[in-house]
A and B are shown apart, each in its own frame.
Chain A
């Protein structure tokens, strides 16, 4: 029997090799190293499928591969820092998603980058390879420190790829912004990693000696942790640690208030946006919370914070998406909003719901971005939706796949997004009926539904329906198989992925066994002890409440309300924008439009904050130069001055030296004599 888990490192290393090849000899390869990347991600994808099948067969792996630092008993705890792999249902699923999207993005890049005559292709494919490798390493990480390292690598790659067109003014600035804003969150994450290591002496995710297990035992009074800061209660301290790690999540997953980098990241090439938004960077934050959910489930305060941030971000970002003119900008805000939903689900105890939405979103958002990429090719890199229109008949493949993605994003039955979003809202509702803060999150999430549907179909109608508004739109550039192929695959997935987890159908009709994802994440087919949704529900703080009609009634009401709201949003968009020559209706919003268009002036606020920080830094600088350096300079001036005087003793006349020696000896003898009492 071949041990498939020993090939897991290869999943990570294959894209890494494609990075090395593209970087090293990409110039001499056809298509700038694209085929290396495609082969590598295809290989990773196949291996991931194999791993998925093996995990479905009841096996799992939690192995330490290499210990690179061992405290060896120094200090209160024996801390080992290591690299390892953790393959359980969650990471196996994520491996397949990441490799599949990465593969499709590589293929699409042939059409978007190579066919468009871009230069610097080896650099591009090297970036894609490293990006994929980093994310895969993050997915299989078996401890928090390793996860942090790959988390940072993901951030680095996003910087490299967003700033791909570095000769233009926008992309480098956007890349820097993405890097710095996510770094800001990562500072907290790093402190959190250290806190976890100090508190538990381990950063392992799974097993009896993992930090979630230790925390659980300690809270139950069955064990103790290695260290807590003096006088702080364990529960409070765990909440603090959870919030620190959450800082990194908020940064990477673009949650309020660190979401501002994401819309700017649209400066990167569109396939990169697809990769960032669907499967890698932004997904990393949510995945991290899911990975260590056994820890978060222990701290109700952190969960409430996650839920509230998520719900708020979902609504907040959706409103900004309402007024954007550029195709990719709308999608950017929809990404922020959708990840808000996932955070809401995680905070509401809907672990499965969050992973479900992560899965469906990966497919439909990758689809939408690649579709947008196809439109951008057709429109000769004009992204303004007001210059489009009527592309429906010119590019039917793109239109229908894009439509499938939009229906999924808007949450229209029976597309993927409907099932996952509905489950999130259901979880938030049933748990929120006993928890007002969570109910607030639910209401915000619910309000975001019609907004999402509206901006999604505003985008669809403006882009594909009506009359062409420019010459380019009348005669768009055709796209080739390498664009249509990935779109078709993703279009099918966006339509059908929801069927892997038809919880409402199961609950209403009483059918058993069609909530596959629930069973999958509940270790139904095997997994790792302590990493199951069942376990998380047991240790979590929530209890369920139901509306009239019990569970079935609540399911039906919840689904009907969210679907009704989504359809309402769609219909409003239909009325306003599905006309031959649509006009801007944003003026009717008055002052609100400006607020929304300028993203609630949050960028300005952050710039203002940055300048205030600069003032503080200026004060610190003055203090440093004046006081700190003043002391140092003063000491050196005294030494210099003293030295310049005292050195005159050294006259060069030997007799004087001899005199000094003699006088010194006499003085010494006198001193010794006086203290020693020789003269008494």
Chain B
């Protein structure tokens, strides 16, 4: 463990992760374009990754890092599916605005 990393207390990592997560959440809640959605979701996942890696460092346990790798892989897969959904959305509605297609409702 490097001296720099260990000298930073874990609260900072948590604050950073929270900030990134909230930015992502804000994006999901306010953006109308599906591509921004994907990006925001990506941010939220990376916030989680920061936590994983930070605590792995803090406890000296590699499990968190392995989990982070898994999450990255999963995020790649999710993007692939997400892009696919967006393509279909565009094909059917001609837009990538998520507020326009409201067919799946009461």
Contacts and interface: CB of A to CB of B under 8 A. Distances in A.
Nearest to A653: B99
B4 interface: no
B3 interface: no
A658 interface: yes
B101 A652 contact: yes
A588 interface: no
Contact of B105 (A651, A655, A658, A659): A651
A197 B103 CA distance: 65
Contacts of B105: 650-652
A655 B106 contact: no
Contact of A655 (B99, B103, B104): B99
Contacts of A662: 25, 29
B102 A655 contact: no
Contact of A652 (B25, B31, B37, B102): B102
B101 A655 contact: no
B28 interface: yes
Given A647-B106, A652-B103, A654-B99, 12 more contacts: A650-B105, A650-B106, A652-B101, A652-B104, A653-B98, A654-B37, A654-B98, A655-B29, A655-B30, A655-B32, A659-B29, A662-B29
B106 A658 contact: no
Interface residues of A, number: 11
Query: For the side of the interface on B, what is the size category?
Result: 10 to 19
A639 to B, nearest CB: 15
Given A655-B28, A658-B28, A659-B29, A648 B98 contact: no
Interface string A471-492: 0000000000000000000000
A642 to B, nearest CB: 13
A78 B18 CA distance: 71
A650 B106 CA distance: 6
Interface SS of chain A: helix
Nearest to B31: A655
A29 B25 CA distance: 89
A517 B101 CA distance: 97
Nearest to B102: A652
29 contacts: A647-B106, A648-B106, A650-B105, A650-B106, A651-B102, A651-B105, A652-B101, A652-B102, A652-B103, A652-B104, A652-B105, A653-B98, A653-B99, A653-B102, A654-B37, A654-B98, A654-B99, A655-B28, A655-B29, A655-B30, A655-B31, A655-B32, A655-B98, A655-B99, A658-B28, A658-B29, A659-B29, A662-B25, A662-B29
Nearest to A646: B106
A651 B103 CA distance: 9
Nearest to B105: A652
Nearest to B106: A647
A659 B101 CA distance: 17
B91 to A, nearest CB: 17
Nearest to A665: B25
A653 B106 CA distance: 11
Contacts of B98: 653-655
Interface string B53-67: 000000000000000
A652 B100 CA distance: 9
Interface in A634-680: 647-648, 650-655, 658-659, 662
Nearest to B26: A662
Contacts of A659: 29
Contacts of A655: 28-32, 98-99
4 closest residue pairs by CB, A with B: A652-B105, A652-B102, A647-B106, A654-B98
Contacts of B104: 652
